[in-house]
Structure 1
Amino acid sequence: MSLSFDPDTISLPVGHFIDGELISAEGAIEMRRPSDGKSYAACPVAGAHLVNRAVESAKAALKASNWGGVRPRERTRALHAWADLMEAEAETLARIEALSSTRPVGQLAAGDIAVTAEQIRFFAEFADKEGSELAPTDDASFGMIMSEPYGVVAAITPWNFPISMAGWKLGPALAAGNAVVLKPSEMTPFSTVYLAQLAVRAGLPAGLINVVLGDGPTTGTALTGHPEIAKVSFTGSTRAGSAIMENVARTGLKPMTLELGGKSPQLVFADADLDKAAAAIAGSVTFNAGQACVAGTRLIVEKSVAGRLTASILEKMKAVRSGPTWDETTQYSPIISERQRGRVDAIVRAAVEAGG
């Protein structure tokens, strides 16, 4: 059966997901489909009151379920059931994400969703394998270094790989016995909401995963600065990461994991297999239209082979088929927003003016 779909027929879970329920809210941020620029929904913005409700729900779920205190293999089994349901619902997940993101539906079904399910299974298996340590002591003493769950963890994910980035954050936090309040990007929020709905259907306690929608200045600030948040995990821009560090320092110190933006160059020397190098470079540049921290869109090439390599890269890129994300044959993605398109265009223009 074809994965291609009519974008005007997709039903979206518009709202926050708190305590196992979809919380309808009036949208405040207009959302446009990257593939055609059409306005299709409005993203709600959770203020401090709703963020507090989500955090309190997560605390209550931890206490009621004793998620951090149950046998670790129970957490493992629950997370495996969730991963199984992701795969069973792959078509629905792929269409929800493809509608609003830069990920083509064919690549989502074959890649992102399967990878996310495996992420959850991978971290699930750490539930009973990572733990405390005995410290060396004399015969009359006993020393132990205890590893305990933080409690409620705040997670903020970017727009470029919404489902898989959510998996990277939810998997280890849940396996270790924590609850999570997650804020996805306001440009690609709805697949994450559906992912959380699947968790409850799979048997995870309601409230263990809460999803609040909104922007960084309002929702993100309220979430990372909340006094009951024990740890913050963020993936996104360096500027946003700096703002989160400042907010956390101002409202109370807590551990942070920050994965911030940046791209490293690809290096090609004269003794390389230029055909293989060109194929690898073209693939990394066209994958998600270069909208990834591992895109490698800067090249440093030995001068003697630069011309041949460039010609080979261009030839391979001509074969890549662009199209809307709801067409399963699309290989080359759209840019996420008009603002980002303008930024990319400015970089290209600057390179041309510099002699590129």
Structure 2
Amino acid sequence: MAENQSNGNGSLKSYDAHVPEIKFTKLFINGEFVDSVKGRTLETIDPRNGQVTARVAEGDEEDVDLAVKAARQAFDHGPWPRLPGYQRGRIMSKFADLIEENIDELAALDTIDAGKLFGMGKAMDIPLAATCLRYYAGAADKIHGEVLKMSRELHGYTLREPVGVVGHIIPWNFPTTMFFVKVAPALAAGCTMIVKPAEQTPLSALFYAHLAKKAGVPDGVINVITGFGPTAGAAISSHMDIDMVSFTGSTEVGRMVMQAAATSNLKQVSLELGGKSPLIVFDDADLDTATDLALTGILFNKGEICVAGSRVYVQEGIYEEFEKKLVAKAKTWSVGDPFDPNVRQGPQVNKKQFEKILSYIEHGKREGATLLTGGERMGTEGYYIQPTIFTNVTEDNMIVKDEIFGPVMSLMKFKTVEEAIKRANDTRYGLAAGILTKNMDLANTVSRSIRAGIIWINCYFAFDNDCPYGGYKMSGFGRDLGLDALHKYLHVKSIVTPIYNSPWL
């Protein structure tokens, strides 16, 4: 059983002194915090104990419509798309400075909303959000078209222009990271936007709206609508005055977003969806490194990450030793209050996700898989689950096929390179994959054979602002991060004129 930070009576130790005052709970429309039209609110729950943290405005179709009108006005007549790129970049850099000035409070908001590790938020999530803003701030004045060499006596060139009003629908597992992965390139491109954070994790998004206004982002450019997917999210996907939707979430909801976009104004859609990523460990891999990466690949962010290495394939020559070492390390993995600096895994985001993960664990047992470690809840309150490893599974098992989105690994043995490639590709998803080997010829061969959007060789979760990220197959299409993300928020316009004395005159 993994270590549990307990206070001795079966419940988890309290770190309530870290909990910040909740300052922003209303919708943010046209530069102002306002109540929802119908005056409804929703509860946000602290997953450490299942208690209500705050009541936040519940926006729906009418509120989305108001936000879209503000964004439309800001795009069609406001200064943001018309500012020189360097001026947009200066405001974005100021925004980044303000994030860093409020790092403790922002990290704490994501902890009490999503169960994220407070120390990790301070060290990674919040600083990297500021870095992401600065990356795209630096690109804002480098948006260039091309001069075309035409095949006839014509002069042609292209312009890159902002796509317009964008709807961002972001998930609950990385509230800060996904906010800026979407918002930063769209801001740099000159777009205006409506952001709908997940109903489970609205608090930091509202704080970022406050900081955006303080930084000088004009009213109407960033609007934040908190609410539920079937109401507020659906209204964004189907709105006739939204030009593009960028969505990160489940494949099932991604289908609905795409259908709504197609049946309304045929708006552009970018989808980053589910994953069931393989990690392939070859015989020559270093065992300590491989077991550490395998555990991190499934337990980081308590498994609530779409690129989690939930399917681990180990070559038969080292399988027995790998399994033994992996299980021993998993049993020492510390689970507890995410404010505790000694903890490596906090609670699942909410009761629904907690129960879903436990139901998959029970299904794995019923399917005949061997439970090597874990498989139970931890503590008597909150949504904590032990690190869980199954073996004796096949690609037909539900726990291997479905995205569980929790700390549940399926560990499998393989013989040949060809078998590993075939089994790694035997999934409807194609988001990420990992390859562990000292043979770079082998790594390069396998990486070209796996159908996934990003392949990590001898590392995992190696994200960078400059590296595009997105899926194949049912993991979606479109790319976040890198200049690919900037370009997806830009239309390409071609302009052609005849050359003097051309027969086209």
What band does the TM-score fall into relative to the shorter chain? over 0.9
Query: Does 1 or 2 have the higher relative contact order (CA < 8 Å, sep 6+)?
Result: 1
Whole-angstrom CA distance in 2 between matches of 1:89 and 1:43? 21
The aligned residue for residue 29 of structure 1 is 42
Cα RMSD between the aligned structures? 1.8
The aligned residue for residue 17 of structure 1 is 28
2:143 is matched with which residue: 116, 130, 152? 130
Shift of 1:92: 1.3
What are the equivalent positions in structure 2 for 1:302-321 lying under 5 Å apart? Answer: 302-321=315-334
Shift of 1:307: 2.4
Structure 1-normalised TM-score? 0.94
Shift of 1:153: 0.5
Q: 1:147 to 1:8 in 2, by over 3 A?
A: closer
Shift of 1:139: 7.8
Residue deviations 1:212-265, cap 9 Å, x none?
A: 011111101111111110111000000000001111111120111100011211
1:224 is matched with which residue: 214, 234, 237? 237
Q: 1:106 to 1:193 in 2, by over 3 A?
A: same
Question: Which shows bigger deviation, 22-31 or 52-61?
Answer: 22-31
- Which residue identity lines up with residue 237 of structure 1 in the other structure? S
Whole-angstrom CA distance in 2 between matches of 1:303 and 1:349? 27
Give yes or no for the alignment of 1:274 onto 2:287: yes
Question: Which shows bigger deviation, 138-147 or 170-179?
Answer: 138-147
Question: Which shows bigger deviation, 302-311 or 182-191?
Answer: 302-311
Contact (CA 8 Å) 2:42, 2:58: kept in 1 or not? yes
More helix by share: 1
Give yes or no for the alignment of 1:351 onto 2:340: no
Whole-angstrom CA distance in 2 between matches of 1:225 and 1:338? 30
Give yes or no for the alignment of 1:212 onto 2:225: yes
Structure 2-normalised TM-score? 0.67
Whole-angstrom CA distance in 2 between matches of 1:271 and 1:348? 31
Whole-angstrom CA distance in 1 between matches of 2:20 and 2:175? 21
Residue deviations 1:47-73, cap 9 Å, x none?
A: 222111111111222345421122111
Whole-angstrom CA distance in 1 between matches of 2:325 and 2:242? 51
- Which residue identity lines up with residue 259 of structure 1 in the other structure? E
Whole-angstrom CA distance in 1 between matches of 2:135 and 2:202? 24
Residue aligned with 1:294, SS: coil
Shift of 1:9: 5.3
Whole-angstrom CA distance in 1 between matches of 2:62 and 2:160? 32
2:86 is matched with which residue: 63, 73, 80? 73
Shift of 1:327: 3.1
Residue aligned with 1:224, SS: helix
- Which residue identity lines up with residue 175 of structure 2 in the other structure? P
1:103 is matched with which residue: 116, 120, 133? 116
Residue deviations 1:132-171, cap 9 Å, x none?
A: 1112126842111221111110000000000110000001
Whole-angstrom CA distance in 1 between matches of 2:285 and 2:339? 37
The gaps in structure 2 that reach 5 residues or longer are: 1-14, 371-505
Q: 1:140 to 1:190 in 2, by over 3 A?
A: same
Q: 1:271 to 1:201 in 2, by over 3 A?
A: same
Q: 1:65 to 1:322 in 2, by over 3 A?
A: same
The aligned residue for residue 350 of structure 2 is 337
Residue aligned with 2:147, SS: strand
Whole-angstrom CA distance in 1 between matches of 2:23 and 2:111? 12
Q: How many residue pairs align between the two structures? A: 353
Contact (CA 8 Å) 1:101, 1:188: kept in 2 or not? yes
Residue aligned with 1:142, SS: strand
Residue aligned with 1:147, SS: strand
Runs of 4+ in 1 over 6 A off after TM superposition: none
- Which residue identity lines up with residue 267 of structure 2 in the other structure? K
Work out which of the two has the higher radius of gyration on C-alpha atoms and give 1 or 2: 2
More strand by share: 2
Whole-angstrom CA distance in 1 between matches of 2:150 and 2:317? 63
Residue deviations 1:36-55, cap 9 Å, x none?
A: 11122234321222111111
The aligned residue for residue 285 of structure 1 is 298
Residue aligned with 1:11, SS: coil
Residue aligned with 2:139, SS: coil
Whole-angstrom CA distance in 2 between matches of 1:59 and 1:204? 15
Give yes or no for the alignment of 1:167 onto 2:180: yes
Residue deviations 1:306-331, cap 9 Å, x none?
A: 22212212222333322223334432
Q: 1:248 to 1:177 in 2, by over 3 A?
A: same
The gaps in structure 1 that reach 5 residues or longer are: none
